[in-house]
Each structure stands twice: as structure tokens, then as C-alpha cells.
Amino acid sequence: MIDYATWCAIRDGTAQHLTPAQLAGDLGLDVKTVRHWVGRPYAPRVRVQRTSKLDPFKGRIVGWLDAHPLTAQQVFQRLGEAGYEGGISIVKDYVRTIRPPRREAFLTLAFAPGELAQVDWGECGTIAAGNTHRRLSFFVMVLAYSRQLYVEFTLSQTMEHFLAAHINAFHALGVPQKVMVDNLRAAVLRHVRGEPVQFNPRYLDFARHYGFQSVACNVAKGNEKGRVERGVGYVKHNFLNGLDLPDFAALNPAVQVWLESVANVRLHRETHRRPVELWAEERAHLQPVNPRPFDVGRVLAVRANRQFRITFDSNRYSVPARFAGSQVTLKAYPDRLCVYHGTALIARHGRSYDRHQDIADPDHAKALLAQRRHAHDAQVLQRFLGLSPLAANYHAGLLERRGNALAHVRKIVALADIHGDDAVVRAMTDALAFEAFSSEYIA
């Protein structure tokens, strides 16, 4: 059984032409469950209320707990003295519902100017990408001191998007001494309580290149990066709430306007200052961006098929025909794909976020077409020379008198196919005697 919110998500996704398989993946459901509810009205399961042995004692339990912070075991002992004959499990469950566990108290963390930035991903449903839909994500970086915010929308959370968004954020904000991440796979491979953090080597290389230290939140301590989590929530509730999503290409320009006119000029409720004003003070403590860009491309080994295509994210991209069947290296960037054979760049394409598309560079087939054309021309010439020993002399005359000798050869061979070799040979013999070198004299 699903709840009403999940049913609404299935209904909305179906209206956006998402398949049951896509919806199942997005919602964490079995595809059979999604298919069951597609097109059906919501009907919650009717539950029969059962009486419990604990029901007659619930009022008494509330009174005990109001008077004293008793444990569930102590409540169970008192119930036994009062005539309760049930088990302790339902007692524990009931005590838990009327007395929720104490919430852990957190200290407000303070940071010096330029000391730290926090980063995280947010998600917001799906958006059209060509003939399909992609999950819409947004990257958020916030400077912990000033609360100056950077936001960038993407169609993926893979490493190349993660690193490219960092670079764009650094250009917008500056580079802090440290960057704090939650235990995102792109940054942290393993983080076990009490053991050193195992960072993703690629992220460590990136951090060294731009001169910041990677910091991971403690396990189950997302509060440690509360500034960016509040930033993610702020984007959802202020920028995205009520927004009819435009084309993806319009999102980042729109959020940039929002950052400059709303998010970074508002009076922050914790600092009681505008982020942009504090950022002006913080900028002197931020590092400049390394002028040599880090190569964020994600490297994949792929093989070109017989149609000289490689496949990436369900789309097919062409390479030069001579590399059909070859092992090549693909570097995926957020906006483009580059294909290498060894160290040589052999193909470059704009990256498509549509699905099942064939993206071809017309130049990649030219060599193959020329090769096939030359092979066909050679066959035609061989057929012509085989008509008669005199054909070689006639061909020499065509080469000397005509700039397009091969075109005349094709026409003469076509005449031989229509009228027969003997008739064409007689006409060619007469034309040769008069030194009349043209297919028009053979017709």
C-alpha cells in the first residue's frame, strides 16, 4: 500500500510521460506497484481497529509519565501490579509515542572569514530534456562566515558536474581554506566512525589543485553543515516554490538573478546582516582561483562499433570511420564529450541529455564514402578496359582530351550494359579512328 503523497507523485510523473520503470527508480518502489496505481484513483487501505490489552491502562500511563520520567520497564512493572496481562513490547511502543526521544542539542558553529565553505546537492523532480525527462539537481555552496550563496542547476550529479560546479562557485565566491561535504560518494568513499576518512582520490587531487582542504561531516552529523542544508531548503522554498519550471537552459540565468536580487541581499536571520555585505569583508580572506583549470572530464574506456559509434548514457556518438572496432578513451564533461585514440583527439561532440539519440559528425563518414566511391570507380574502369584491347587507347585519349574522363567511362560502360559489348566496341573503334574522344560519339 502506498500513501497519498506517493500516489500523487505517480500521477504527476505519468502526466509528464515518465514510464513505470523510471517512476519506480525515482520513488524507490517496485515497478509492479507503480503499474498497479497508474490510472487508478487513490484508495487507502481500510484498517480494522483492534482493541488492545493496554487500552484500559493508557490514561493511567499518561498520568504516571506526567508525574515522573519513568522508563518503559518501570511502567510495565506498575501495570503488572495494576492487573495488566499483556507483554512489554506494546508498552514500549506506546511510551515511545507519547514521549518522543529527547532531541540532541547542537551548538551553533562559528567560522572565521574565508575559513570554510559547505557544499551539497538538492533535488527538484524532473525537467524536460529533448524527448525525455531528466532528474533536476542543483548544487549549492555557501560560505560559512558570510552566508554568501552560489547555486547551479544540473541534469546529473556525476563527478564531472560536481567538480565543474565547484569551479564555477569558486569563480563566483572565491576559494576558502576548507570545503565541508557530507558523505557524498563523489567526495568520500568510506567514513566509519572512529576511523580516518577515505576521500575519493579524484576529489583530493581537485582540492590540492585549488588549494583547499577537504573536510567530511561526522557520520550521521549532517547538522555540522547546517548552513548549506538550510541553503538547499531556502532554494526550494523561495526560488523553486510555485515556479513553473522553464526550459533547463533558462534555469541558471534565472537563479543568478535571484541570487543577486534576493538571496544574497536579504537580511539573514542569524547574522542580522546581508550576506553580500559580509562577503565584501570576507573576500580579502578568500584565495584566488587557480588560473590553470582542473580537467574535470570523467574518463571511460569504450569501444567503437562497426557503425563507428560509441555509446554513452544511452546515446550514440560517431567517431571517424577508420576507428570502427577500436578501443578508444571517452572524456565526459557536463557540456561536451571528447574521444581520444591514444593521446590524439579524434572526435568532439556536444553532450546530449536526451535518450537513444544518434549524434553524428558528417566528416566522420567522408573517408569511408570516398573509399567506397574509389572502389566503385576502379570496378567501372576495369569493366571498360575489359571491353576491347582498344579500350586502353581510347581511355588515354579521354584523359588527354577530357577533364572528366571517368564520367565518360561510366556512360560508355552503361551503354555496353544496355546495347551489348559488341555494339559499343564497334562504335569505339570508329571513334578512335576519327580521334573522337567522348561518350557522345559512342552513343
pLDDT of 333-368, one tens digit each? 999 999 999 999 999 999 999 999 999 998 887 766
**Model pTM score:** 0.62
Tell me the C-alpha distance between 298 and 166, whole Å.
15
Tell me the C-alpha distance between 166 and 335, whole Å.
15
Tell me the C-alpha distance between 307 and 365, whole Å.
10
Residue that terminates a domain, selected from 311, 339, 361: 361
Residue that terminates a domain, selected from 361, 391, 408: 361
Indicate if 341 and 381 belong to the same structural domain.
Answer: no
Indicate if 233 and 120 belong to the same structural domain.
Answer: yes
Indicate if 356 and 373 belong to the same structural domain.
Answer: no
Indicate if 375 and 352 belong to the same structural domain.
Answer: no
Assess if residue 383 is contained within a domain.
yes
Buried b (16+ CB within 10 A) or exposed e, 79-111: beeeebeeeeeebeebbeeebeeeeeeeeeeeb
Provide the pLDDT for residue 226: 55
Assess if residue 50 is contained within a domain.
no
C-alpha angle 159/240/166, rounded to 5°? 25
CATH number at 222 reads 3.30.420.10
Provide the pLDDT for residue 45: 66
Domain extent at residue 241: 116-285
Assess if residue 397 is contained within a domain.
yes
Q: In 193-263, which ranges are E strands?
A: 198-199, 213-216
Assess if residue 75 is contained within a domain.
yes
Assess if residue 336 is contained within a domain.
yes
Provide the pLDDT for residue 37: 83
Indicate if 205 and 252 belong to the same structural domain.
Answer: yes
Are the C-beta atoms of 116 and 215 separated by less than 8 Å?
yes
Indicate if 328 and 392 belong to the same structural domain.
Answer: no
Residue that terminates a domain, selected from 318, 343, 361: 361
**Position of cell 482493541?**
51
Which residues of the chain fall below pLDDT 50? 104-108, 223
Assess if residue 201 is contained within a domain.
yes
Assess if residue 291 is contained within a domain.
no
Question: Are β-strands 116-129 and 132-143 bridged in parallel, bridged antiparallel, or unpaired?
Answer: antiparallel
Are the C-beta atoms of 94 and 58 separated by less than 8 Å?
yes
Tell me the C-alpha distance between 127 and 136, whole Å.
6
Provide the pLDDT for residue 101: 58
Indicate if 375 and 232 belong to the same structural domain.
Answer: no
Indicate if 217 and 320 belong to the same structural domain.
Answer: no
Q: Provide the H-helix boundaries in 28-136.
A: 31-37, 58-67, 72-81, 88-98
Provide the pLDDT for residue 102: 55
Indicate if 437 and 385 belong to the same structural domain.
Answer: yes
Helix (H, G, I), strand (E, B) or coil at 315: strand
Nearest Cα neighbor of 155 from 233, 231, 234, 251 is 251
Indicate if 315 and 422 belong to the same structural domain.
Answer: no
Provide the pLDDT for residue 202: 94
Assess if residue 290 is contained within a domain.
no
Structurally, the chain folds into a number of domains equal to: 5
> Which contacts qualify for 99-105: CB closer than 8 Å, 24 or more apart?
99/65
DSSP letters spanning 26-48: HHT--HHHHHHHTTPPP-PPPPP
Indicate if 258 and 137 belong to the same structural domain.
Answer: yes
Indicate if 272 and 128 belong to the same structural domain.
Answer: yes
Tell me the C-alpha distance between 111 and 189, whole Å.
26
| Residues pairing with 118 in the sheet | 142, 180
